[in-house]
């Protein structure tokens, strides 16, 4: 079974802090994604990557950046956390553009 591991289940940070959310997949998948999930808004794509060192902006990239230095790891960075970034963050990976996404269990981030 594919395993997508997000480093933290719960995270509490202060406004203005730099925050790193880590995601690792163990199946050599090419595509990786970061979404945020908010009630009533579904999943919104922040960034995705189709290869090492490659990244593409999603629908809501403002306030975020990403890093993919190795194929298995995709990091989401909040340069200066704000309260409106309090959310559930979901990482996903996929072996190809027509294959299903495999999700991690999410990181619930609270910014105070």
Partner 1 sequence: AQSVAQPEDQVNVAEGNPLTVKCTYSVSGNPYLFWYVQYPNRGLQFLLKYITGDNLVKGSYGFEAEFNKSQTSFHLKKPSALVSDSALYFCAVRDPLNAGKSTFGDGTTLTVKP
Q: CA distances (Å), 111 to each of 13, 61, 87, in order?
A: 5, 18, 9
Q: Quick check: helix, strand or coil at residue 102?
A: strand
Q: Which of residues 7-66 bind partner 1 (CB under 8 A)?
A: 31, 33, 35, 40-43, 45, 48, 50, 56, 58-59
The least CB distance from residue 111 to partner 1, in Å, is: 20
Nearest to 101 by CA among 24, 32, 18: 32
Kindly write out the interface string for residues 91-110 of this chain, putting x where it contacts partner 1 by CB under 8 A and - elsewhere.
Answer: -x-x-xxxxxxxxxxx----
Partner residues linked to 103 by β-bridges: 92
Chain contacts with partner 1 (rule: CB under 8 A): 4, 31, 33, 35, 40-43, 45, 48, 50, 56, 58-59, 90, 92, 94, 96-106
């Amino acid at each position: 079974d594919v395993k997508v591991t997000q480093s933290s289940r719960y995270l509490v940070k202060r406004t203005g802090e730099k925050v790193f959310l880590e995601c690792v997949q163990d199946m050599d998948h090419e595509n990786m994604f970061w979404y945020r999930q908010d009630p009533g808004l579904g999943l919104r794509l922040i960034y995705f990557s189709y290869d090492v060192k490659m990244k593409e902006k999603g629908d809501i990239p403002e306030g975020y950046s990403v890093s993919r230095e190795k194929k298995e790891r995709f990091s989401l960075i909040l340069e200066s956390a704000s309260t409106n970034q309090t959310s559930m963050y979901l990482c996903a990976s996929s072996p190809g553009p027509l294959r299903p996404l495999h999700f991690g269990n999410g990181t619930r981030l609270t910014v105070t």
